[in-house]
A = this chain, B = another copy of it.
């Protein structure tokens, strides 16, 4: 590791990444895929050294009192390295978005204008414990012709250094510049702050991690941010909903993997449907291990339920808890969702075409479902073959982000002396 003065590491590596990005943007798909394959090979070659570095992180993590959950996120083993390699081969098989012609037209004066997909330039990923993000972020950026600056957490420092050294040795054997992958090794807060404002060299910041990290980056950064966010996802059961579909979708959306952003957190039920099926549905949810926090009507029929507060409706539990509210109609459900939701994934269970259309059009979210589980909001499930994250912002990319989210566009204009009159 080269030693840098405070602050100078970020600027120096930013500059190197910027220079590398100008070389990267003309690399062919073959050159990029070849480098990716070499990275996968090198990971297997250096497996033992990587696991040894990872052990150092685990040991100091235990000394520093990290929880078992965090230690598990830091932990690498042969299987997890194998999984990284498989993800790389999957990435190689995906089409290269760079160079795609998105628009093409000739003006009356003879100017030929093409709008083409180009790399973003330098992407900076700021992320938390998991060292697999290091390899994932680097390879996604290389595939899309970008240079990348990686700023992981101190808890995975040794693992990240070993992984990036390994990537560098692979790039040395490839046609890509090794400077295209930069790891910021100094993990003090100051380096993150410096990255937030390095507009000179960084084209986009992508935070990957918990809400606290993302909120900090969004609040502080002057470099544009690709925001991935929290999911307070709702399922609304309409008057005409099919019972079987409602029950299986709700149980799936709540219990299949409660800790992820596309899991359901809140249930809205039409008052008439609730009278007919409410008790049965909620009892079955309880039997599936779900704790129910509901409004007065819910508490009336369900002795175990806790009374919900306004705050409950705004909470992303990320656990086997769900808030339940009885509503008068689809409009009330939509207003509730647009007020309390985080604009991630929202579903209606209905047999009424009109309710479905109103819900699809008026709910403000990345992904709106009719009669299906919110758990499908995912780059792989949508068939994009890769996922940078799920954008909950409205600019650039919204919903699951595949490779094109890591690209920009450029106008190529060819003339023979045209001037503006």
In chain A, residues 105-147, which have Cβ atoms closer than 8 Å to a Cβ of chain B? 105, 107, 111, 113, 115, 120-121
Q: Which of A45-53, A55-63, A172-180, A376-384 contacts B (4 or more CB under 8 A)?
A: A376-384
Please judge, given known A-B contacts A394-B121, A396-B395, whether A375 and B415 are in contact too, CB under 8 Å: no
Please judge, given known A-B contacts A361-B25, A398-B408, whether A419 and B375 are in contact too, CB under 8 Å: yes
Specify which chain B residues have a CB less than 8 angstroms from the CB of A242 in the assembled complex: 417
Specify which chain B residues have a CB less than 8 angstroms from the CB of A107 in the assembled complex: 381, 383
Would you call A393 an interface residue if the criterion is a C-beta within 8 Å of the partner chain's C-beta atoms?
yes
In chain A, residues 334-357, which have Cβ atoms closer than 8 Å to a Cβ of chain B? 338, 356
Are B409 and A399 in contact, with the CB atoms below 8 A?
yes
CB-contact partner of A372 in B115, B364, B413, under 8 A: B413
Specify which chain B residues have a CB less than 8 angstroms from the CB of A189 in the assembled complex: none
Please judge, given known A-B contacts A256-B420, A376-B418, A395-B396, whether A411 and B366 are in contact too, CB under 8 Å: yes
The 8 A CB mask of A359-389 against B (1 = contact, 0 = none) is: 0111011111111110111000111000000
Are A369 and B204 in contact, with the CB atoms below 8 A?
no
Are B361 and A418 in contact, with the CB atoms below 8 A?
no
Would you call A84 an interface residue if the criterion is a C-beta within 8 Å of the partner chain's C-beta atoms?
no
Would you call A104 an interface residue if the criterion is a C-beta within 8 Å of the partner chain's C-beta atoms?
no
The 8 A CB mask of A223-255 against B (1 = contact, 0 = none) is: 011110000000000000010110011001100
Would you call A22 an interface residue if the criterion is a C-beta within 8 Å of the partner chain's C-beta atoms?
yes
Would you call A82 an interface residue if the criterion is a C-beta within 8 Å of the partner chain's C-beta atoms?
no
Would you call A89 an interface residue if the criterion is a C-beta within 8 Å of the partner chain's C-beta atoms?
no
Specify which chain B residues have a CB less than 8 angstroms from the CB of A4 in the assembled complex: none
Number of interface residues of A (CB under 8 A): 68
CA–CA, A253 and B419, complex, Å: 8
Specify which chain B residues have a CB less than 8 angstroms from the CB of A416 in the assembled complex: 245, 371-372
Specify which chain B residues have a CB less than 8 angstroms from the CB of A362 in the assembled complex: 22, 25-26
Are B111 and A419 in contact, with the CB atoms below 8 A?
no
CA–CA, A15 and B120, complex, Å: 34
Are B26 and A361 in contact, with the CB atoms below 8 A?
yes
Are B248 and A420 in contact, with the CB atoms below 8 A?
no
Would you call A87 an interface residue if the criterion is a C-beta within 8 Å of the partner chain's C-beta atoms?
no
Please judge, given known A-B contacts A204-B394, A394-B224, A395-B224, whether A248 and B361 are in contact too, CB under 8 Å: no
Please judge, given known A-B contacts A249-B419, A417-B244, A417-B248, whether A121 and B366 are in contact too, CB under 8 Å: no
Specify which chain B residues have a CB less than 8 angstroms from the CB of A227 in the assembled complex: 224
Would you call A81 an interface residue if the criterion is a C-beta within 8 Å of the partner chain's C-beta atoms?
no
Would you call A73 an interface residue if the criterion is a C-beta within 8 Å of the partner chain's C-beta atoms?
no
Specify which chain B residues have a CB less than 8 angstroms from the CB of A413 in the assembled complex: 367-370, 372, 376
Specify which chain B residues have a CB less than 8 angstroms from the CB of A411 in the assembled complex: 366-368, 377, 382, 399
Are B245 and A420 in contact, with the CB atoms below 8 A?
no
Are A420 and B367 in contact, with the CB atoms below 8 A?
no
Specify which chain B residues have a CB less than 8 angstroms from the CB of A398 in the assembled complex: 408-410
Are B383 and A203 in contact, with the CB atoms below 8 A?
no
Chain A: residues with CB nearer than 8 A to chain B? 22, 25-26, 105, 107, 111, 113, 115, 120-121, 199, 203-204, 218-219, 222, 224-227, 242, 244-245, 248-249, 252-253, 256, 338, 356, 360-362, 364-373, 375-377, 381-383, 393-396, 398-399, 408-420
Known A-B contacts: A371-B417, A371-B418, A372-B414. Give 20 more (CB < 8 A). Answer: A22-B338, A22-B362, A22-B364, A25-B361, A107-B381, A111-B376, A121-B394, A204-B394, A224-B225, A244-B417, A248-B419, A256-B420, A366-B410, A366-B411, A368-B411, A372-B413, A372-B415, A372-B416, A375-B419, A398-B409
